[in-house]
Structure 1
Amino acid sequence: MMQGISPLARRVLALGAGLALLSSAVHAAGSYSRVLPEKSSLAFVSQQMGVSVDGRFTRFSATLDFDLAKPEAGSATLDIELASIDAGGPEANDEVKGKNWFDVKQHPTARFVSSSVKPLGNNRYEVRGQMSIKGKTREVAAPFTLKPDGSGALLEGSFPIKRLEFGVGTGAWGDTSVVADEVQIRFKLAVAGK
């Protein structure tokens, strides 16, 4: 079929085909849609009487649609099973599951739904969206970095929330000199390509 084509034209066609394949591979490598929960983590840091207290949630699920070529079109949701909290021990866990804190019987899940993604340069981005906890919804902004990792990537970031805006830690626990209002949420999401 290529017999009537000059050697130069053949090289140009081969180069074009190679570039098209390379472009397709690069695009596919920069598109992420699956979150790998077993390689991901969701943690928080609060201050209790001036001392940092670390905790985490062990069960959560996320959906993601993120393309490095079109980051502004990205979207994400995160659902957190509040009863999966690990606040450092059985007594603390039981306390924070109760009505004064998360009230997991009435509000078993916290949810984040993105509304926009903005590139900040150098593999850094900011996702904005609505965070819902205990029936209250507030807008949050979460800066994150994206680090390619084999065929996937690691999204890592943190953002603060004000717990009292969500009704978390009421009654005696509403005293911010005992437990600070601001809580830092930290996430590491391992993601795989489409």
Structure 2
Amino acid sequence: MADKIVLKSTRASRAVLLAMAAGALFGAASVSAAPIDAAKSTVITTSKQMSVAVDGKFKKFSGDVTFDPANPAAGSAKVNIDIGSYDIGSDEYNNTLKSAEWFDSAKYPQATFVSSSIAAAGPGKLTVKGKLTIKGKTNDVTVPLSYAVAGNTQTFDGVASIKRLAYGIGANEWKDTSVVADEVDIKFHLIVTK
């Protein structure tokens, strides 16, 4: 009799475990990657030249985000940026920035960000860590951001602060940080619709 009770208990435990595993599997599957809506999103840089703020905008980028507000740690993000689409409002300067001394966009046409972890940092706040690759150089970055969810739309806003020289941006005389500051802020507003 005790053997039958143990057997029934074991079967019940297995059934519960299988149900939990299936729930976890299907739950994870329902939170799928959604593409970034580039038409509604922006990626803007702010740097300083001779202590004057200069904004530039990447006109072409793509990527996808997987995010569940109930389980941020299970999320992920990847962003690809077309370096040749960088625009600071002047064709002459845009062409200079494509050169080998700056972005070398012919050799390195894309910059990428790939998240390694996403953690909750308070209501509507996240801390995202990942690898940023520009001009063939990869560095760890930590990005504090805010998010909002409205229906099927998720909005992410944040600023990644980097040092341009860590990526080889600005060679030769342009390494002089008294002319062009080393610090660059990459401000993004990303909209994802599932």
| TM-score interval for Structure 1 and Structure 2 normalised by the shorter chain | 0.7 to 0.9
Gaps of 5+ in 2: 1-26
State yes or no: 1:106 paired with 2:133.
Answer: no
In structure 1, C-alpha distance between the alignment counterparts of 2:33 and 2:146, rounded to whole Å = 16
Task: Provide the residue aligned with 2:64 in structure 1.
Answer: 63
Q: Is the 8 A contact 1:44 1:185 kept in 2?
A: yes
Aligned to 2:91: 90
CA distances 1:128-155 after superposition (whole Å, capped 9, x unpaired): 0000111110000111111123431210
What SS does the aligned partner of 1:37 have? Answer: coil
Where 1:178 maps in the other structure, the secondary structure is coil
Alpha-carbon distance in structure 2 between the residues aligned to 1:93 and 1:173: 15
Aligned sequence identity (%): 42
**Corresponding position of 1:151:** 152
Determine the C-alpha separation between the residues in 1 that align with 2:92 and 2:32: 39
Distance in 2 (CA, whole Å) between partners of 1:86 and 1:122 is 35
How far apart are residue 167 of structure 1 and its match?
A: 0.2
* SS of 1:95 mapped into structure 2: helix
Aligned residue for 1:38, secondary structure, equals: coil
For the 8 Å contact 1:33–1:191, the answer to whether it is kept is no
Amino acid at match of 2:181: A
Normalising by the residue count of structure 2, what TM-score does the alignment of the two structures yield?
Answer: 0.82
Moved over 6 A (4+): none
**Which has the larger share of strand?**
1
SS state at 2:173 partner: helix
Tell me the amino acid that sits aligned with residue 83 of structure 1.
G
- The TM-score with structure 1 as length reference comes to 0.82
Match of 1:52 in 2: 53
Aligned to 2:169: 168
Give the total of aligned pairs: 165
Work out whether residues 32 and 192 of structure 1, in 8 Å CA contact, stay in contact via their aligned partners in 2: no
RMSD: 1.5
Q: Which residue number corresponds to residue 134 of structure 1?
A: 135
Instruction: Indicate the larger mover: 147-156 or 115-124.
Output: 147-156
In structure 1, the residue matched to 2:24 is: none
Unaligned 5+ runs, structure 1: 1-26
